[in-house]
Structure 1
Amino acid sequence: MKTRAITGFFFVLVMLSAVLLGEITFSIFFLVLSLLSLNEFYQLVKTEETRPVRAGGILLGLSIFVPVILHFIYGYNIHWILISVPVSVLICISELFRKEKKPFHSIAYTFFGVLMVIVPFSFYTAAAFSNGEYSFHYSLGFLLLLWASDTGAYLFGIKLGKNKLFERHSPKKTWEGFFGGMITSLAVAFILSTQFTELSSLNWAVISFLIVVGGTFGDLFESMLKRSMNVKDSGSLLPGHGGLLDRFDGLLLSAPLVYVYLYLIFSV
């Protein structure tokens, strides 16, 4: 428990520093974090018969994430993301030379890792620029709402949890925990609306709802992946916490939803 608390404290401290120190630090930090998470995914799904094209997948991740960063910080044309097309073709061609037992499984995991990890982190990063320039209000608000949801779900689940949410994939999750997470996240959303006034209290509440729902299913989705690979944790990078995917599973499905919502708000 002590190791878990120490790791959590320093990791949160580093994350908050990255968010608050400006757009370049923020973008580089989450670029590195996303690539480490992608590498963790490839380690998780690797078997004797299936080996993702790790170098190709990381290069593909860079070809997606970097153009997003350059577009929002320096105004580069977002069409640079088309570099990912020839990279994708090269990944497919490279598999012809690797002599794997299940080449299409390897290719599928390579691309799915990018879809599961790099794309959500790209959306999360892009959301910080929703109003045309970098604002830590959106990125910090997202994290606070996600953490509030996780904390509320855990506390309410421990005290009141009886009805299983998705026992097949996560036996400990309950409906009471889900609604507890919703309550705590909405409470934090109201507080955020009094401090970060670019968005109304209603908008923060909607974002909170998207994070709770998306975060819950993201957690279940990652649990399903681990169960299918017969592992308890996605990795061991964070002592006492498991891997990066264990810590950011709630972001995987909620970040794209939040970005789309923010895009619709500021484009109308």
Structure 2
Amino acid sequence: ISPLLFVVSSSATVLIITQINRLLETFGILGILSPFFTVLIRIIPLALIWMLFIFIYLFLPNVKVHWSSGILGGIIAGTAFAILQWAYIYFQIGVTYYNAVYGSFAALPLFVIWLQLSWYIVLFGVELSYAHQNEEYFEFRPDIRKVSHSFRRILSLMIMHLVVKNFSKSNPPLNGRQISSRLEIPLKLAQDLLDDLTAASLLTAIPTEEYRQSAYQPARPIDTISILNVIEALESRGGFSTPVAHNESFRSLSHALTEFSEAIKSSPENRLLKDI
């Protein structure tokens, strides 16, 4: 559909400019406004290219694209395409002017280069629109990769506490962006932790209409979700099928960890999240 849209855009540009010139010739009084129309004629081709790219980025993807992201990508990519188009025409005319014979041979390579660069520009605009719409997912990535296990555990408990309290008040489920905003956690980190909690069967993800956003609610009765319950669920997710030697050291350390868990379970600080 994109080549068809480019042809329609080019045809519309020629049609509009022709009609404006005809009006200027028919109505002499419009001669006063000729400087304005001169500027308008120069802007129309660029504006139509912008509209074409904005349309492509807003309506052709199979996901919902924000208007601001589509417009930003469309204007930048459209401007780059207009510059490339001008350069292509300039070189094509120049080659033909200097040598009519070899100029005809250069037409095909120049066209192929122009076509290749045009698609690079189209795809660059797509990347730009995507990056603008999902900029929150790219924030603090180097810092997120360095987050310690202990800090992730605290943040996971904070998320579980928020979801449990929200559920106990019979409020609508919160999505990842809302949780990130309320707890002031980077969206990428919050989404990673939500995925971990969902994989640990602590949360249930509910699909929403918003792109890449699910709402979350507890996956088990909130009367059973304690601090230790969350920690154990996170640490025990995954498999135990890897063959290892169950020697004396393995059994002793496993027993020690079990005793630790029992001690924490009986601690008064091991409260239910809904009571905190």
Fold match (TM-score > 0.5) = no
- Give the TM-score of the pair, scaled to structure 2: 0.29
- Give the TM-score of the pair, scaled to structure 1: 0.30
Structure label with greater radius of gyration: 2
